[in-house]
Structure 1
Amino acid sequence: MKFLLHLFFFTFLVTHGSSETFMDPFRYCSNTTISPNSNFFSNLNTLSSYLSSNSSRKFYHKSSVPPVYAHFQCRGDLNATACHQCVATATSNSSQQYCPLSVEAIIWFDDCFFRYSNRSFFSIVAEQPSMILINLQEIGEEKSSFDQIVGSALNDTVVKASSRKGDLKFATKEASFGNETVYTLAQCTGDLSNSNCRKCLSNATRRFPDCCSGKKGGRILFPSCSVRYELYPFYESVSPSSVSPPPASVPPPTVSSPPAFFPPTTAPSPPASILAPPPTLSSPAPSTAAPQLLSGNLAATVALVMAIFVGSYFP
C-alpha cells in the first residue's frame, strides 16, 4: 500500500478549563462524494440523528441501514451529557461542514469520535488513516528515563484497556517523573474484541519511539483505537465500575432503500482518498455548549506536529 505523507507544523494555545465551543476536529474525508438528493445522504442524516440521540445513554454505539454504517465512541471518562454534546456536534456537521457529501469520513474530537462509511467496518481493526500529534517541547537531559516512564505507563494502560469487559475499553494511568506527573490514556472502539483491542493499541504505542522520544506529549489516532500521554491532566478520573450500564437501546430508524449504484459491501472498489485540511483554529465548529475539555487552571502553549498517513484505500 502506498501512503501519502503530509506534515503540518502549527502552534496553538491550550487552555486548561471549560470551553463554550468545540474546535474544528481532525478528520479524514474520502473524495468519493454523494448527491445531497440521494437515498444514501438521507439515510446518513437519519442514522446520524439516531446515533446522537443514543449518545446520552451510551459511550459507544453502532448502527447501520445498508449502505450506511456508522458508529461513535466517547472518551471513557466523560459523563452522559458531555458525550451527547460532542457526538451531537460531530454527527450534525460531519457530512455537510467537516466532510461535505463524502461517502466515508472519520471525525476526531478530543472528547469523542465519529465514523461512517458505505461499507461495514464493524469489529475490524483499522490502523489507517492515522494521525500523529506531537508536543515539540523537549523534556531535556533526562530523555532516556522519561521515555522509560512513559513507555511503562502506556503499556499498563494498554493492558488494562484491552482487558475490560463490554464496550468501554478505556484506561488511564498517572506516573511520577521528578516533580512532574505523566498522564496516559488508551482506548479502543467498543466493537473490538479484547485481543483485537490489544493488537490495535500495541501497534499504536510502537509508533511513539520514532515520533515522540523525549517529547513532552504525543498522541496516536487510529480509526479503531487511540493512545496519548501528556504532562498535564487531559481527562477526568473515572472508575469503569462506576459507569452505570445503559438501558436497552431504541430500535434503529426506518429509512429509505439504498440506491442501486452504490458498490456492494462484499467487494468494494477502493475509493481514492483525500485529506481534509488541518483544523482552522480561529473558527470553531458551531455548538451551543461543550463539556470541560481539560482540567486544571494553567494555560500552556503547546506546539504540535501532525503526521497523517492516508492509505490508498479506506480500511
Structure 2
Amino acid sequence: MAIASLTLPIFFSAIFVHLLTLSIAQKELRYSYCENRRGNFSAGSPYHDNLNRVLSSLSSDTENDHGFYNASFGENPDHVFARALCRGDVEPATCRSCISDTSNLRASVCPNQKEAILGYDECMVFYTNRSIFGVIETSPRLWLWNPVNASDPASLSATLRTLLDTSRMQAAAGDSLRKFAVNDAVASDFTRVFVLTECTPDLSEQQCLNCLDQIIEEQPDCCTGRTGGRVIAPSCNFRFENYRFYNITPV
C-alpha cells in the first residue's frame, strides 16, 4: 500500500506518517509530503520542465560517490532548487538508483506542487522554488514510528537520549562530503537500541547541531513508547530501532 501525501493545517509543525514496511523493489515511497503553500505549476510549464531536468541530473551524476547531490536550474520565477541525500552507509549505485526511483514517482505523488519532500529508507529528495544550499531547512518535518510498543519505555528512552546526544555531535563533526553517525547500546532491560543521525553536508558543524537539536526535541512527541521511530527534515534526520537497520560502518 502506498503512503499518501498528507496535507495538514498550517499550525501543525510536523506531518505524521505511520511507519510501513515497504521496499524500493515495490516502487512505493516510504514517505512523501507535497507542500501546497509554496505554489503550484502547470504541466508543460517552464517550472515543470526545469524540475524534470534538475531531478534527472541528481541521479545521473556518476562522479559523485558521497551520497549528497545538489542542483538548480532556471531563472525566477521558474528557478528550481533540489537536493538528494542518501543514508551514509548506502553504496553509490544503490544511492543513485534510489534517487532515480524517487524522482520517477514524483509526478504521481506530487503532480503540481513547487515544493515536496519524498523518499525511501535509503534516500530523500527535496525540491523547492527557493535557494536551499547551506540553509537549515527543518520544515516540513515527517514523523514515522514503529507500531510495536517497547517492553520497558523508560529504559529505552534513557538509552536513546544518551545515544542521540553522542550521535548528533559525531554527525555534525563530519566533513563537507558526509555528516553521518551510527551508534548502538544495550538498555537496562537488555534491549539493544540502534541510532542513526545525519545532516546534509552543505551545513556547517553548528548548523548541523542546530538542525538535529530541533528534530530530536520532537522525539518524545513522535515516538515515546515505541521500539523505533524517526523524524525527517530536508536538512537532517534521525532514526532509532531495536534492530540494526544500517550497515555497520558508512561507505
1:38 to 37, 42, 45: 45
Q: Which residue identity does 1:181 align to in structure 2?
A: R
Q: Which residue does the alignment assign to 2:182? A: 172
Identify the residue that residue 90 of structure 1 maps to in structure 2. Answer: 102
Aligned to 2:129: 118
Q: 1:134, 1:219 within 8 Å by CA — same for their partners in 2?
A: yes
**Alpha-carbon distance change, 218 to 9 in structure 1, aligned in 2, over 3 angstroms:** closer
How far the C-alpha of 1:176 sits from its partner, in A, is 1.1
Q: Distance in 1 between matches of 2:83 and 2:248?
A: 25
Q: Deviations over 1:91-142 (max 9, x none)?
A: 2222x112102211111321101111111122111211111122243323x3
Instruction: Map Cα deviations across residues 243-297 of structure 1 (whole Å, 9 max, x no partner).
Output: 4xxxxxxxxxxxxxxxxxxxxxxxxxxxxxxxxxxxxxxxxxxxxxxxxxxxxxx
Structure-2 residue corresponding to 1:101? 112
SS of the aligned residue for 1:97 comes to helix
Shift of residue 169, structure 1, vs aligned partner: 0.5
2:201 paired residue among 183, 190, 213: 190
Identical positions, percent:
31
TM-score when scaled to structure 1? 0.68
Among 53, 68, 74, the alignment partner of 2:86 is 74
State which of 211, 228, 250 in structure 1 corresponds to 2:239: 228
Structure 1 residues 127, 9: CA separation in 2 closer, same or farther (over 3 Å shift)?
Answer: closer
Distance in 2, Cα, partners of 1:3 & 1:85: 36
Residues 48-57 or 116-125, more deviating: 48-57
Letter in 2 for 1:30: E
When residues 173 and 7 of structure 1 are mapped into structure 2, their CA distance, relative to the original with a 3 A threshold, is closer
Measure the CA separation in 2 of the matches of 1:191 and 1:169.
Answer: 9
**CA distance 1:172–1:22, shift in 2 (3 Å):** farther
| Partner Cα distance (1:7, 1:127) in 2 | 12
Structure 2 stretches lacking a partner, 5+ long = 1-8
CA shift at 1:42, angstroms? Answer: 1.2
Instruction: Give, in whole Å, the separation in 1 of the partners of 2:163 and 2:42.
Output: 47
Aligned in 2, Cα 1:179/1:129: closer, same or farther, shift over 3 Å? same
Alpha-carbon shift at residue 11 of structure 1 (Å): 7.3
Q: In structure 1, the residue corresponding to 2:81 is in which secondary structure?
A: strand
Which protein shows a greater Rg?
Answer: 1
Which runs of structure 2 are paired with 1:141-152 in the superposition (5 Å)?
Answer: 142-152=152-162
Give 1:24's aligned residue: 29
**Contact 1:157-1:185 within 8 A present in 2 as well:** yes
How many residues are paired up? 235
Can you give the 5+ residue segments of structure 1 that lack an aligned partner in the other structure? Answer: 244-315
SS state of the match for residue 229, structure 1?
Answer: strand
Residues 55 and 87 of structure 1 are in contact (CA less than 8 Å); yes or no, is this contact kept in structure 2? Answer: no
| Residue 209 of structure 1, CA deviation | 2.5
Q: 1:55 to 1:162 in 2, by over 3 A?
A: farther
Note the C-alpha offset of 1:54.
1.3
Distance across 2 between alignment mates of 1:90 and 1:19: 9
Change (3 A) 1:193 1:185: same
Corresponding letter in the other structure for 1:143 = P
Taking CA–CA contacts closer than 8 Å with sequence separation of 6 or more, which of the two structures ends up with the larger relative contact order?
1
RMSD: 2.4
Decide which of 118, 135, 146 is 2:146's aligned counterpart.
135
TM-score by length of 2: 0.85
The Cα offsets for residues 132-163 of structure 1, whole Å up to 9 and x where unpaired, read as 122243323x3322211111111111110000
Q: Does 1:53 align with 2:63?
A: no
Q: Which runs of 4+ in 1 moved over 4 A?
A: 5-12
